[in-house]
Amino acid sequence: MKLLRLPFVLAVILAALLGTLVSPASAVERTCWGIKGDLNSEPILLVDWERNASECFGVAASGTIWHTWEGADAWYEMPGNGRASRVYDAYDVWQDPSGVHIGKAVKVVTSTGKYYCSYLDYATNTWSGSWYQVGYYYSSCAASPKYGSLATQWYLY
């Protein structure tokens, strides 16, 4: 009986050791503001917001959505349990085209081609905690009478 256990125990130890040495095939170490994170192979989005510190957004191999910003100490998962294949765009949000700057939004796309947004309201300085679907890739994540303008942004490969 003990002889049969030895190969099994060795196989379990070897599998555990390999599991700690091998990362998922689609995980890539990405750096933004000197902060490293394991994300998928899609580019991360660096956004220069009109009002707040610059911010990076990325998607992990699991599909979870992450962000970090100037002065942060780590990558943080976005609230709302969102899932995506990549980050698509970011928007500064205004009360109306000539009005008050009231927030910011980020848009992601799923593997099925659906687009979702999350919004941060400057009045509370918190993300909405939910991801809402928008109809098309050209949607600005803002519903009338609010106005979304494409934020200055770059894809980092």
DSSP collapsed to 3 states, 87-156: EEEEEEEECCCCCCEEEEEEEEECCCCCEEEEEEECCCCEECCCCEEECCCCCCCCCCCCEEEECEEEEE
pTM of the prediction? 0.81
Q: Is the confidence at residue 109, as pLDDT, over 70? A: yes
Q: Which residues of 50-76 are buried (b: 16+ CB within 10 A; e: fewer)?
A: eebebbbbbbbeeebbbbbbeebeebe
Cβ distance 32 to 156 under 8 Å? Answer: yes
Query: What's the full length of the chain, in residues?
Result: 157
> Mean pLDDT, the chain, as a whole number?
84
Q: Is the confidence at residue 23, as pLDDT, over 80? A: no
**Which tokens in the block code for residue 77?**
């998962």
Cβ distance 23 to 59 under 8 Å? Answer: no
Most confidently predicted of 40-44, 98-102, 128-132: 40-44
The band of 59, judged by pLDDT with boundaries at 50, 70 and 90, is very high
Q: Is the confidence at residue 85, as pLDDT, over 50? A: yes
Any idea which of 27-41, 62-76, 105-119, 128-142 has the lowest mean pLDDT?
Answer: 128-142
